[in-house]
Amino acid sequence: MDITARLRVLLGPEAVLSAPDDVAPYLVDHRRLYQGKTLAVCQPADVAGVSRLLAWCNEARIAVVPQGGNTGYCGGATPDESGQQLVLSLRRLNKVRAVDASGFSLTVEAGCLLAQVQAAAAEVQRLFPLSLGSEGSCQIGGNLATNAGGTSVLRYGMTRDLVLGLEVVLADGSVLSSLSPLRKDNTGYDLKGLFVGSEGTLGIITAACLKLFPADRSVATAWVAIADPQDAISLLGRLRAASGDRCSSFELVPQVALDLVLQHVPGTRSPDTVAAPWYLLVELTSPADDDLETLLNEALAAAIDSGLALDAVVAQNSTQRDNLWRLRESVPAAQRVVGHSLKHDISVPIAALPQFITAGSHLAHTLAPEGFLVGYGHVGDGNLHFNLSQRPGTDNAAFAAREPALKRAIHDLVASLGGSFSAEHGIGQLKVGELERYAPAAELLLMQRIKHSFDPNGILNPGKVLRAG
């Protein structure tokens, strides 16, 4: 019996795709950096199916590449070019298993879209605070596997901080079921913590018990024009103090990014402030009936009086708020319209951000003259997407050829400032070499040992995070 026939017996005929047109969407990553091949795409309907598949693959030494919504930026969910790997799509594990409003937790399967998890929480007047531009297509399993960040990390932390328990299928098919909603449990090593951010290399996440918070009852959102990034940092400190730390999002958008969005994303319109080199999207939220709008207006008026801000507009209703968010969240899409971009998902200690932006901009201008800088992102977390787009009329190949030297210079700069070359997008296959270069040798060795003890036959997403072999 050939492999696909065997898989159909194991999982049911509807769970195995092998026709070229059917598997094609699973073989290319969101940025179109990688094009793989596969034996088949398997889509089990439940955890028992995932378990049977892994047990069989472990015996047969067949590599498995888990895939969620395929929105990742580092090629982590794309199989290699050998055609000998299986893609494991979690798409059909998409049930909300339990919502516990009084215990402030919910249990969902890995294939639920992030937006579906948010909606399940909202139905019982609770908040699941993880929020990303890709929330309509990424899956919670992918968010956990990449330890996704997004726009509310400042207040609620990364995905890791939102996890109470996990259900994971290990390489040999055994199921680690640790879906307890306990907030306190100091019984040995935190094994579930190892799977978060492991990008499918240590186990397949099939379900998670997640933390919920009281739903927001008050929100105030502003678009703030500022002269330079140092002002952003000073304003962040002031706003956090003035609002009793109700600041949940603090995003930086340069004028060049706003211009790209207004030019390329239909239906967007310029916010009503003076033009400035930089803007902030600031949001305060509260589960109480607070007058956040007045608070934000007063804080921003004081900032303008003291020269910290140039101008600001506070959204007057949910349509205006959505429009402001659309400007921020459309930046990656607008950059895609312009063409290939050289991306650097960096973080530095927040006080070092202005120094990074000055030195990094100089490097970008000198090392990639065909590009222009679009540096935006989660400035409240010290995380910038320090991306370059290509200038119209310049040569594609010349621009692409700038990538290695520019990446080295930017990442060395980040390292010299005590920062990270991958703040929230992970390693995948794109940044394996960077991890080898920048991770301390002792950490890298420990990661290799952990990988070997969880996956002795190397069947789980080989070549991602760590070099295969």
Encoded tokens for 182: 């306990």
What mask of x and - would describe binding to ligand FAD in positions 97 to 116, judged by CB under 6 A? -------------x------
Rounded to the nearest 10 degrees, what angle do helices 3-11 and 47-60 cross at?
Answer: 150
Closer residue to ligand FAD in complex, CB, 367/380: 380
What mask of x and - would describe binding to ligand FAD in positions 291 to 330, judged by CB under 6 A? ----------------------------------------
User: Please, which of residues 123-142 interact with ligand FAD by CB under 6 A?
Assistant: 132-134, 138-139, 141-142
Encoded tokens for 184: 């306190």
As measured in angstroms, the least distance from the Cβ of 365 to ligand FAD is 26
As measured in angstroms, the least distance from the Cβ of 191 to ligand MLT is 28
Stretch that binds ligand FAD, among 12-20, 70-78, 97-105, 433-441 (CB under 6 A): 70-78
Place of tokens 């678009």: 223
Cα dihedral sign, 4-429-137-126: positive
Stretch that binds ligand FAD, among 68-76, 180-188, 350-358, 365-373 (CB under 6 A): 68-76
Which residues would be at the binding site for ligand MLT (CB under 6 A)? 133, 331-332, 343, 377, 385
Cα dihedral sign, 402-368-77-160: positive
Please give the Cα distance from 384 to 417 (Å, whole number).
Answer: 14
Q: C-alpha angle with apex 64: 59 to 66, nearest 5 degrees?
A: 145
Closer residue to ligand MLT in complex, CB, 341/461: 341
Query: From the list ligand MLT, ligand FAD, none, which binds 139 (C-beta under 5 to 8 Å, kind-based)?
Result: ligand FAD
What's the distance, Cα to Cα, between the start and end of the chain in Å?
Answer: 29
As measured in angstroms, the least distance from the Cβ of 67 to ligand FAD is 5
Please give the Cα distance from 260 to 256 (Å, whole number).
Answer: 6
Near ligand FAD by CB under 6 A: residue from 36, 129, 200, 419: 200
Please give the Cα distance from 139 to 352 (Å, whole number).
Answer: 33
User: Please, which of residues 396-425 interact with ligand FAD by CB under 6 A?
Assistant: 424-425
Q: C-alpha angle with apex 153: 425 to 245, nearest 5 degrees?
A: 160
Q: Rule CB under 6 A: is residue 197 a binding residue for ligand FAD?
A: no
Which residue is at the shortest CB distance from ligand MLT?
332
Closer residue to ligand MLT in complex, CB, 251/370: 251
Query: From the list ligand FAD, ligand MLT, none, which binds 385 (C-beta under 5 to 8 Å, kind-based)?
Result: ligand MLT
As measured in angstroms, the least distance from the Cβ of 248 to ligand FAD is 14
- Phi-psi domain of 100 (left: phi exceeds 0; alpha: psi -120 through 50; beta: other): beta
Closer residue to ligand FAD in complex, CB, 129/292: 129
Which residue is at the shortest CB distance from ligand FAD?
142
Cα dihedral sign, 137-207-191-64: negative
Please give the Cα distance from 211 to 207 (Å, whole number).
Answer: 13
The 163-169 sheet, strands edge to edge: 96-100, 105-109, 204-211, 163-169, 175-178
Nearest Cα to 142, choosing from 428, 381, 382? 428
Q: Rule CB under 6 A: is residue 249 a binding residue for ligand FAD?
A: no
Side chain identity at residue 121, one-letter code: A
What mask of x and - would describe binding to ligand FAD in positions 7 to 46, judged by CB under 6 A? -----------------------x----------------
Near ligand FAD by CB under 6 A: residue from 44, 49, 79, 149: 149
Strand 64-67 versus strand 86-89 pairing type: parallel
Residues that bind ligand FAD (CB under 6 A): 30, 65-73, 76-77, 90, 110, 132-134, 138-139, 141-143, 145-146, 148-150, 199-200, 204-205, 332, 424-425, 428, 461, 464
